[in-house]
Amino acid sequence: MAHISFDHSKLSKFVHDNELGEMQAMVTAANEELRNGTGAGSDFRDWLNLPKDYDKAEFERIKQAAKKIQSDSKVLVVIGIGGSYLGAKMAVDFLNDTFFNYLPDDRRQFPQVMFAGNSLSPSYVYDLLNLIGDRDFSVNVISKSGTTTEPSIAFRIFKDRLVEKYGEAGAKDRIYATTDQAHGALRQEADAKGYESFIIPDGVGGRYSVLTPVGLLPIAASGADIDQLMKGAADAADAYTDPDLSKNEAYQYAAYRNILYRKGFTTELLENYEPNMMYFAEWWKQLMGESEGKNEKGIYPSSANFTTDLHSLGQYIQEGLRNLMETVVKVDQPNHDLDVPKEADNLDGLQYLEGHTMDFANTKAFEAVTLAHTDGNVPNMSVHIPDQTPYTLGYLIYFFEVAVAISGYLNGINPFNQPGVEAYKQNMFALLGKPGYKDLGDKLRKKL
């Protein structure tokens, strides 16, 4: 039995009983493409076996590096963009206290984990430098090429601050490079300068890389148990191998969302009821958007954080354009719960909730929203997770990774490339005056 559960019971008014079974042949074919490497993008399937087939020696080095960072740094600055930061940010938020990064040093057991290089905002970088102040810090720079503009600029700035504070030799011991095994500018610099380095596997794309050193070092530095994280993913890999739709809930999810897509439900909202899961949705959006948005088709991934966003997006979801489907990731046992206090005068009208807890109210809100939105012709699915532990997160990560791979093949696309990402980069290089882009730059400037 799977550790997490997928509930599609609210789809009965949108999907006929026979439709899932009629997807079985297509799902079986998609599974063969994925498992046998006969589908498009087969060179980037190493995430499939990664939870069990990974470099154990490097894994131990990651844990040792995390311990060193914990011992000598109050802040770890993780520099990367896209898959080079979203997985780690999601996991650090998911696995820690909501205000993990806000606690003062005297109340912290582990360093703050802050992120940079994911935008070109000078104010953000200035503010982060100001936050670090005179405190000890280390840097984990993550880039396969070492030339991506956003992280490259940030790395120069934080490297300069490290050298200013610790000198060349001291700075070297506080820089951890996660990059290509043999190629690229960052690999060359890491070798030349003697940074401790970790490998981004060739067969794992950025959005699937959270269980590689890309995500594991920041996650471990935050104090999370990465052994349990990998064990959860490994158990999920065993649980989601059978293509039989009556047994494989990850494949069920892929099939149902494709059935709905073909009926005009072209936008999927991933929703949660825990504020520290906001970045789980951001990670999911990259995973789904880069995997499926190609050839002028694909489900558009969006998100909402409930109950908060019910007071801003709720009206549209309930009565707006009927192209939405919803998937809720619901935590069945929150990290903490609180009783609703008793008050004699009942001025706020909450006496009916006395004797209950906040999670009781949160769960009833989830149930009420599901019923209301279903009545409003918004298909609802939910993925129930028992808790917010590393084991559960590893399991959940794998659930969505294997689901989107199957979903992509069901829709006739390569779920492992992202050709459209390069379009803006070429224009940006040209407008910034990067060597080799002069002609394109001249053309673009005429359009501006």
Q: Tell me the sheet residues that pair with 76.
A: 113, 138
CATH 3.40.50.10490 fits 5-39+230-415, yes or no: yes
pLDDT at 201: 94
As separate numbers, helices (DSSP H) first and strands (DSSP E) second, the chain gives 16, 10
Q: Which of 89, 58, 334 is nearest to 181 (CA)?
A: 58
pLDDT at 448: 81
Instruction: Report the distance separating Cα 112 and Cα 104, nearest Å.
Output: 9
Q: Which of 290, 292, 326, 401 is catalytic?
A: 290
Instruction: Report the distance separating Cα 157 and Cα 81, nearest Å.
Output: 16
pLDDT at 420: 64
pLDDT at 422: 67
Q: Which of 2, 5, 1 is nearest to 332 (CA)?
A: 5
pLDDT at 442: 74
Helix locations, 240-389, DSSP H? 249-261, 278-292, 314-319, 358-375
HEC per residue, 141-168: EECCCCCCHHHHHHHHHHHHHHHHHHHH
pLDDT at 47: 97
The letter for the amino acid at 426 is Q
Residues 6+ away with beta carbon under 8 Å from 191: 197
Q: Which of 67, 247, 342, 425 is catalytic?
A: 425
Q: What is the pTM of this model?
A: 0.95
Q: Which of 88, 105, 106, 99 is nearest to 142 (CA)?
A: 88
Is 268 designated active site?
A: no
Six token digits for residue 257: 């969302």
CB 409 within 8 A of CB 39: yes
Instruction: Report the distance separating Cα 292 and Cα 314, nearest Å.
Output: 26
Domain ranges of the chain: 5-39+230-415, 47-224
- For every one of its 448 residues, what pLDDT tens digit does the chain have, with 9 covering 90 and above? 689 999 999 999 999 999 999 999 999 999 999 999 999 999 999 999 999 999 999 999 999 999 999 999 999 999 999 999 999 999 999 999 999 999 999 999 999 999 999 999 999 999 999 999 999 999 999 999 888 999 999 999 999 999 999 999 999 999 999 999 999 999 999 999 999 999 999 999 999 999 999 999 999 999 999 999 999 999 999 999 999 999 999 999 999 999 999 999 999 999 999 999 999 999 999 999 999 999 999 999 999 999 999 999 999 999 999 999 999 999 999 999 999 999 999 999 999 999 999 999 999 999 999 999 999 999 999 999 999 999 999 999 999 999 999 999 999 999 998 886 666 777 777 777 888 777 777 777 887 8
Instruction: Report the distance separating Cα 170 and Cα 173, nearest Å.
Output: 5
Question: Do 5-39+230-415 and 47-224 fold alike per CATH?
Answer: yes
Six token digits for residue 346: 């009942």
| 38-71 exposure pattern, b = at least 16 Cβ within 10 A, e = fewer | ebebeebbbbbebbeebeeeebebbeebbeebbe
pLDDT at 124: 97
Is 290 designated active site?
A: yes
Q: Tell me the sheet residues that pair with 305.
A: 272
Q: Tell me the sheet residues that pair with 137.
A: 75
CB 367 within 8 A of CB 360: no
For the domain spanning 47-224, the CATH number is 3.40.50.10490
Six token digits for residue 91: 């996991």
CB 381 within 8 A of CB 261: no
